[in-house]
Chains A and B, each alone.
Chain A
Amino acid sequence: MKKKDLISINDFTKEEYMRIMELAGEFEENPNQDLLQGKVVASLFFEPSTRTRLSFETAISRLGGKIIGFTDSSSSSVKKGETLHDTIKMVSNYADMIVMRHPLEGSARYAAEVSDVPVINAGDGANQHPTQTLLDMYSILKTQDTLDNMNIFMVGDLKYGRTVHSLLMAMSQFENPIFNFIAPEELQMPDEYKLYLKNLGIRYFEHKEFTDIISEADIIYMTRVQKERFSDPIEYEKVKNVYILKNDMLENTKPNLKILHPLPRVNEIHTDVDENTKAYYFTQALNGVFTREAIISHIMNLK
């Protein structure tokens, strides 16, 4: 049987998305299942990402697997100039599965080609972070009971934000989505994705102002506007406080609205939103563990 990998969100079919969602639900009910007993999982973080790593390592531990690996490349042979090819070849001899995060784009696809065991991409530069997308989808499904007919507002850095790009691609597989993009001039959704939606006949709207248009939203997906993305620091100063969600803005929003954020946040969601029942970002992070248990089970054919 051909091994499965998860490198790009586009590698999975709609049926596989739904299977992952179903499994994530099972793991939420019953997170501790010894399906990985006797198995070794390599957790290779060529760049540090504490949040993602802890989520994966929790998922692996709850499945009863053992973890080997490193948390950043400074302490490993990588620093001594070993190629990615050689590191992956070696590790795939030791482990039953590889979870990897790497600063270079395409590194995960390449690792999957080199490795004899399944590879899960935990982020390759600005390219893909598919487990984040699946946990976002699980969060939407859980709070809305469906992935169809969603009006999704994406706010902040829509140009470089890989999470919004992947979510857009994945949600486009479902019935009748509507997308609303709220971003400053410099950080608008790239044409490539707008063209993708246009070709599928999916409606989208672009806005520069973060105003009461959000009253239509089922989901608000907030992202961080990062200073280093701006060529002109004055431009950053102009917009840095424009895309901040505050509690009073939620007054006339739909009752089913949920606010998502891939975390960590800086100031783009005011802390006064945290107490609002529409704030979902902390639960979203917890959903990551269940979703990753589901992904591992699916990739390793454990269920």
Chain B
Amino acid sequence: MTENNKKKLKLKVSAIKNGTVIDHIPAKSLFKVITILGLDKISNQITFGTNLESGKLGHKAIIKVSDKYFKDEEIDKIALIAPHAKLNIIKDYEVVEKRVVEIPETIKGIAKCFNPKCITNNEKINTCFKVISKNPIALKCHYCEKITNENQMVIK
């Protein structure tokens, strides 16, 4: 079997009829993506694969959710941890639309403020950041006004 045919076969085995395929998730972020999107709380059929070879990411993960389509603001929540994720919208086994995630202007929850003296790290408060730079990511805390850089960023 040629490489190309193998690929096609693999795709066929795990294909879904209707729903969304989220590809190019960094393998280490798979479970965070599942939590952020609330996929652990819905009853749709979900299959996922992880530690798949990927040239770009090293190891990637993929999630296929049947009968579910995401709103932009829903999917943009994963931008901080899976900035290169690609979405395939499937209808009747066909990819009808491809989408990429975009880092939103404001980010609520998800990330922690790096400042240990910030109120959000001392009391139960949802964090809120203004995105002041997208590449590299820099987040300005709505509360303490300090800037959390990409390399200081911790996902809650």
Contact = CB atoms under 8 A, between A and B. Distances in A.
Interface of A: 8, 83-85, 102-107, 109-110, 124-128, 192
Interface string B121-151: 0111100000000000000011111110000
Contacts of B146: 105, 127
B8 interface: no
Nearest to B120: A106
A85 B120 CA distance: 12
A8 B141 CA distance: 13
B115 interface: yes
Given A104-B117, A104-B118, A126-B117, A109 B123 contact: no
Given A107-B143, A110-B119, A127-B144, 15 more contacts: A8-B145, A84-B119, A84-B123, A85-B123, A104-B119, A105-B118, A106-B113, A106-B118, A109-B119, A109-B143, A110-B120, A110-B125, A110-B143, A125-B117, A125-B144
Contact of A105 (B115, B123, B125, B147): B115
Interface string B78-120: 0000000000000000000000000000000000010101111
Nearest to A10: B145
Q: Looking at B115, B119, B122, B144, which has the most chain A CB atoms within 10 Å of its CB?
A: B119
Contact of A192 (B120, B122, B147): B147
Contact of B145 (A84, A104, A106): A106
B147 A106 contact: no
Contacts of B124: 83
Residue with the greatest number of chain B CB neighbours at <10 A, chosen from A83, A102, A106, A125 = A106
B117 A109 contact: no
Which secondary structure dominates where chain B touches chain A?
A: loop
Nearest to A104: B119
12 contacts: A84-B119, A85-B125, A105-B117, A105-B143, A105-B144, A106-B145, A107-B143, A109-B142, A110-B119, A110-B120, A110-B123, A124-B144
A200 B92 CA distance: 54
A126 B119 CA distance: 12
Q: Interface residue tally of chain B, by bracket?
A: 10 to 19
Interface of B: 113, 115, 117-120, 122-125, 141-147
Nearest to A83: B123
A124 B122 CA distance: 14
A123 B31 CA distance: 40
B122 A104 contact: yes
A280 B74 CA distance: 56
Nearest to B143: A106
A8 B146 CA distance: 13
A174 to B, nearest CB: 22
Contacts of A106: 113, 118-120, 141-145
A109 B142 CA distance: 8
A8 B143 CA distance: 10
A56 to B, nearest CB: 21
B138 to A, nearest CB: 10
A236 B91 CA distance: 68
Contacts of A103: 117
A95 to B, nearest CB: 21
A104 B144 CA distance: 8
Contacts of A192: 147
A2 B142 CA distance: 19
Contacts of A126: 117
A127 B117 CA distance: 10
A125 B147 CA distance: 16
A124 to B, nearest CB: 8
Nearest to B147: A192
A247 to B, nearest CB: 38
Contacts of A84: 119, 123
Contacts of B125: 85, 110
A110 to B, nearest CB: 5
Most chain A Cβ neighbours within 10 Å, of B113, B118, B124, B141: B118
Contacts of B143: 105-107, 109-110
Nearest to B122: A104
A128 B145 contact: yes
A211 to B, nearest CB: 34
